[in-house]
Amino acid sequence: MKSRGGLWFGWSGNLSESEPAEPDITIRRKITYATIDLRPEDYELYYMGFCNGALWPLFHYFIGESRYRDDQYETYQRVNRQFAKHLLPLLKSDDIVWVHDYHLIPLARELRKRGREQPTGFFLHIPFPHIEVLRALPVHGELMRDLMDYDLVGFQTQRDLNSFHSAVVELWGSEALGPDGSITVGGRTTKAGVYPIGVDVEGIQEEAVDSMDKQAVKRVRTVAGMFGRSRVIGVDRLDYSKGLLERFEAYERFLETYPENLNRVSYLQIAPHSRSDIRAYAEIRNQLEQASGRTNGRFADLDWTPIRYLNRNYPHDVLMGFMRQSQACLITPVRDGMNLVAKEFVAAQDPDDPGMLVLSTLAGAAAELTSALLVNPNDIRGVAHAIQQALTMPLNERRERHQQMMETLRKNDIHAWHNRFVNDLVESVHQ
Ligand code: GDG
């Protein structure tokens, strides 16, 4: 958006008691930011409730965690109506509209109801579940119909698109599905495609190199360097979909199975808290504290902590510096739309001596990063073995795998993702 210019519209991240009158407008460089507050009740029912208590778990195949409530769904619709109402006066007639993620599925319908007909696309950052999972949600039909109000719907992987098609066929029959994957329902055609999100490869490399002199990055390097330890890293929002519990168990198994690593490896897990008010998040938080405590209690030495588990946020460039000086990165979600950290780790490496990525096959990124060490996150023994393999892999193999992954990252970087989606969106209405 910085190069193209435009309007960014969304929730401010703040709460206010009264119904928001008008969006707050800030203009910075070529972008106008229009944001509105949510009322505490809407935050509860819309954001924490329907979005993150019903849709998030269901779309990540945690059917048992997904809780549906009518009042939450009604608020979801009402908040989307309100967003549309506030967005409308800000839209210019030649604007194209790109809507992001599961919080805003009904937005196109609400805009069209108010007479807006400009190209409107939707991109889903998280997985789309197969119909056999989706159907557990009482309002899945409504959400699918809402998606049909977009001109283009984009997914992270072919698997997600296939799942979306499974729902289309179930609801409207195979005749609704065109040979190019587009969907026609009630005379309206919606295109659907795969647009794997990428990263700013050059930007990350610069961040990683430039941050090597930052205090925090130096501290990590100095401490591990002093004892000649290898560094393993993980960076995830604290979320039950990220497979952290299984990962901690796998790391414990790794230390147990390959005891030559005792006192020789240091695992840094950064996991900033998120959505802490939801029960499932509080639960996983407790379980992780116990699991890291158990491993440290069992294996730690006077001058060695096997897992350093930090619930803190770091500036992005510092994170990239941490990654550049790590020999292995563990990305083992039990389900993930893409996982940008996996791509960032690869981009942040020194090509002459790159660290190795251990990556879950259940992350969208696995479809592209096929030269990573691919693992099933539930296979504790397999992940333990992959950690050992990553730390003992010969330099020429690491370089070769890294180079292969970099080629994919460059071909499919954040700019390519953006351009492809926007071009297809514009084209979708001209056909
Ligand atoms: C959703 C989907 C999909 C992490 N900790 C800190 C920090 N981060 C940054 C990472 C990365 C981003 O946040 C996390 O992105 P992920 O892709 O890994 O995961 P989600 O947050 O779950 O994102 C996911 C993504 O949308 C994009 O489509 O890939 O599947 O779930 O960039 O570096 N950034 C800073 N401090 C931290 O402590 N500054």
Residues 414 and 200: their CA atoms lie apart, in Å, by 5
Testing ligand 1's pocket by substitution, the residue of 284, 316, 320, 346 carrying the most ligand atoms inside 8 A of its CB is 316
User: Which residue, 106, 73, 347, 339, is CA-closest to 203?
Assistant: 347
Catalytic residue among 86, 100, 101, 125: 125
Q: How far is the CA of 332 from the centre of ligand 1 (A)?
A: 14
List phi, psi (to 5°) of 377. Answer: -65, -20
Name every residue whose Cβ is closer than 8 Å to that of residue 334 and which is 6 or more positions away in sequence. 60, 241, 242, 243, 246, 360, 362, 377, 378
Q: Give tens-digit pLDDT for 335-374.
A: 999 999 999 999 999 999 999 999 999 999 999 999 999 9
Alpha helix positions (H), 227-369: 244-257, 279-299, 316-324, 340-348
pLDDT above 90 covers a percentage of the chain that reads 87
Residues in the chain: 431
Are 391 and 361 a contacting pair, CB within 8 Å? no
This prediction has a pTM of 0.96
Determine the pLDDT at residue 431.
65
Task: List the single range of 17-21, 137-141, 173-177, 301-305 with lowest mean pLDDT.
Answer: 17-21
Are 118 and 37 a contacting pair, CB within 8 Å? no
CB of residue 252 inside a 6 A radius of ligand 1:
no
Catalytic residue among 146, 149, 317, 336: 336
Residues 423 and 107: their CA atoms lie apart, in Å, by 21
Residue whose token pair is 């009518």: 70
24-28 vs 31-38, strand pairing mode = antiparallel
Q: Give tens-digit pLDDT for 303-317.
A: 999 999 999 999 999
> Is the torsion defined by CA of 323, 361, 103, 30 positive or negative?
positive
Residues 206 and 124: their CA atoms lie apart, in Å, by 29
Q: Whose CA is nearest to atom 30 of ligand 1?
A: 337
Q: Give tens-digit pLDDT for 189-237.
A: 999 999 999 999 999 999 999 998 888 888 877 776 767 889 999 999 9
What is the three-class DSSP state of 231? strand
Active site includes 149? no
Q: Whose CA is nearest to atom 39 of ligand 1?
A: 316
Active site includes 418? no
Testing ligand 1's pocket by substitution, the residue of 320, 322, 340, 343 carrying the most ligand atoms inside 8 A of its CB is 340
For the record, the structure tokens of 402 come out as: 């890294």
What are the start-end ranges of the E strands in 48-141?
A: 97-100, 120-123
Are 406 and 351 a contacting pair, CB within 8 Å? yes
Q: How far is the CA of 341 from the centre of ligand 1 (A)?
A: 6
Residues 101 and 59: their CA atoms lie apart, in Å, by 12
Q: How far is the CA of 242 from the centre of ligand 1 (A)?
A: 11
